[in-house]
């Protein structure tokens, strides 16, 4: 047997073996179902969520909070009716794993100026290689785990005696 014949024979055996493997993955009872039964069965299977690189859209959230983006002569800034004419610089945010053309303008308001909690800041990690966008939104202490524990502790102290 020549070398080419042996390689051709190996290739046919491999392809048959792959088809055999694929047939083993299909349950025996699934092959006996009609198309309608297969569809009903597939509708009841649990769905997995795939990551399609769709980042959180802070820009639309800011617009929903009442922020207005203004662009004038190569300069961009945000205004909000709560802050009465004060201009805030935008953060040019580009999420990881997105196309090079995709970016968002997010209103940057330092926390000491953001009384209403409507703006955003950048929080860098310890080594400064990456940052996250954080909202300045006020969070009630008692909505957190620690706050609930403090409330329970206070309640226990008051009702023991």
Q: How far apart are CA 143 and CA 145, in angstroms?
A: 7
Whether residue 21 sits in one domain with residue 79: no
Given phi > 0 = left and psi -120 to 50 = alpha, else beta, which region is 73? left
Q: Per residue of the chain (161 residues), what is the pLDDT tens digit?
A: 566 656 655 555 555 555 555 555 566 666 777 888 878 877 776 665 545 556 788 889 999 999 999 998 889 999 999 988 899 999 888 877 777 788 889 999 998 998 888 999 988 888 877 788 888 888 777 778 888 898 889 889 998 86
The answer to whether 89 and 108 have CB atoms below 8 angstroms apart is yes
Same domain for 68 and 94: yes
How confident is the model at residue 79, as a pLDDT?
93
Q: For residue 95, what are the domain limits?
A: 58-141
The verdict on 34 and 64 lying in the same domain is no
Q: Are residues 76 and 113 in the same domain?
A: yes
List, in sequence order, every beta strand (DSSP E) within the chain.
Answer: 68-72, 75-79, 90-93, 104-107, 120-124, 131-135
């Amino acid at each position: 047997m020549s070398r080419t014949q042996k390689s051709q024979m190996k290739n046919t055996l491999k392809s048959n073996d792959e088809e055999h493997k694929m047939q083993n993955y299909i349950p025996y009872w699934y092959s006996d179902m009609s198309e309608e039964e297969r569809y009903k069965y597939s509708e009841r299977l649990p769905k997995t969520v795939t990551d399609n690189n769709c980042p959180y859209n802070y820009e639309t959230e800011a617009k929903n909070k009442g922020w207005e983006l203004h662009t004038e002569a190569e300069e961009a800034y945000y205004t909000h009716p709560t802050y009465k004419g004060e201009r805030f610089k935008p953060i040019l945010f580009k999420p990881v794993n997105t196309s090079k053309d995709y970016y968002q303008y997010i209103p940057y308001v330092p926390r000491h100026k953001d009384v209403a909690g409507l703006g955003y800041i950048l929080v860098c990690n310890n080594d400064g290689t990456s940052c996250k966008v954080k909202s300045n939104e006020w969070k009630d202490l008692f909505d957190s785990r620690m706050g609930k524990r403090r409330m329970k502790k206070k309640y226990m102290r008051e009702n023991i005696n």
